Structure 1
Amino acid sequence: MSNLVGKWKGDHSENMENFLKAMGVGDAAKKVAESDNANVEISVSDDGTWTIDTVGGIMKDSKISFKLGVPFEDARPGGKTEKIVATLEDGKLITKPVDNPDGPSAFWQVVDGHAMLTITKGDIIAKRFFNKA
C-alpha cells in the first residue's frame, strides 16, 4: 500500500500562477489558485482502483478513479479533457498524457510526512504541498 493513501489538507503552492498561465487559464482562476488549499483524499481499493477525491480545489470538487497503466479521461486546468495514464514508480504516483507528449504531467509523492504534487508543462514546474489531515 502506498504512503500516499489517506487524507491531506492543502498548505501552500509554488509557481502555480505560471503553470496555469502556460495551460491557458484566465487571470481570475490564476489568482484563486494562489490561495487554493484543497482537501484531498487518496485511496486504493482491493481491486487496485485508485481514487483521488479533491474538495474545495480550483477546479471545484472533483473525483477521479483509475487503475495503474490503464488510460483514463481527466479534466485539466482550463477545461480541457485529456487521456491520461498513471503509474507508480519509486513511491511516486505519476500521471502523463497518452496522446500529447507536450501536455502537463504530474506526480504525487510523500516527503518528510507531507504529500507533494509536482506538475510540469514544458520547462515550467509548480508544486502543491499538503499536510496529513
Structure 2
Amino acid sequence: MVEKFVGTWKMISSENFDDYMKAIGVGFATRQVGNRTKPNLIVTVDDQGILCLKSQSTFKTTEIKFKLNEPFEEITADDRKTMTVVTLENDKLVQKQTWDGKETNIEREISDGKLIAKCIMGDVIAVRMYVKEA
C-alpha cells in the first residue's frame, strides 16, 4: 500500500506554509528560509518494512526512518523534538507529531499522479504539492 509513495518527488507548489510554520511556533528567520525552500521528498521502504522519508534541499536535508504505527522520536527541520507516529489511513500516510502539549498532522496522499501533503495545525492548513521525477 505504501509502495505508491515510493520515489523522488519534486515540489511544484506550496500554499499557506508561512501561516502553518507560525502556528507551530517557527521563528521569523527560519520561516523566511522555509518559504523559499522547495525540497525534494524521497520516499523509500526496505524489505523489513522500514520507511524512510527524506526531505532534501540546498538549505537542509532531514530524514526519518520508521515502521508504520510505531511511535518514534523525531527532530524536525525546525529543531522541534517530537514524538511521532505514522499511520496509513484511507490511502493517506498520516504523520502525527506531538510536543509540549501540542499536536500537528501531515497527511500525504497521491491524487492524479501528484503527492499532496497537507500540514494541519488547528484550523491552519498548508498544502504542498509534488510531482514524481522520472
Structure 2 equivalent of residue 68 of structure 1: 68
Structure 2 equivalent of residue 25 of structure 1: 26
Q: Which aligned pairs between 1:17-96 and structure 2 lie closer than 5 A?
A: 17-56=18-57, 60-76=60-76, 78-96=78-96
Give the gaps of 5 or more residues in structure 1.
Answer: none
Structure 1 equivalent of residue 127 of structure 2: 127
**Counterpart contact for 1:116–1:127, Cα < 8 Å:** yes
Give the gaps of 5 or more residues in structure 2.
Answer: none
Cα distance in 1 for residues equivalent to 2:99 and 2:61: 26
Structure 2 equivalent of residue 109 of structure 1: 109
Cα distance in 2 for residues equivalent to 1:102 and 1:64: 20
- 1:101/1:24 CA distance change after superposition, 3 Å: closer
Amino acid at match of 1:90: N
Q: TM-score, normalised by structure 1?
A: 0.89
Amino acid at match of 2:110: V
Q: Structure 1, residues 14-49: CA drift from partner, whole Å, max 9, x if none?
A: 100001111221222222222321011101111110
Cα deviation for residue 57 of structure 1 reads: 6.9
Q: TM-score, normalised by structure 2?
A: 0.88
CA RMSD of aligned residues (A): 1.8
Q: Number of residues paired by the alignment?
A: 132
**Counterpart contact for 2:81–2:99, Cα < 8 Å:** no
Cα distance in 1 for residues equivalent to 2:28 and 2:98: 28
* Bigger fraction of residues in helix: 2
**Counterpart contact for 1:20–1:77, Cα < 8 Å:** no
Cα deviation for residue 81 of structure 1 reads: 0.7
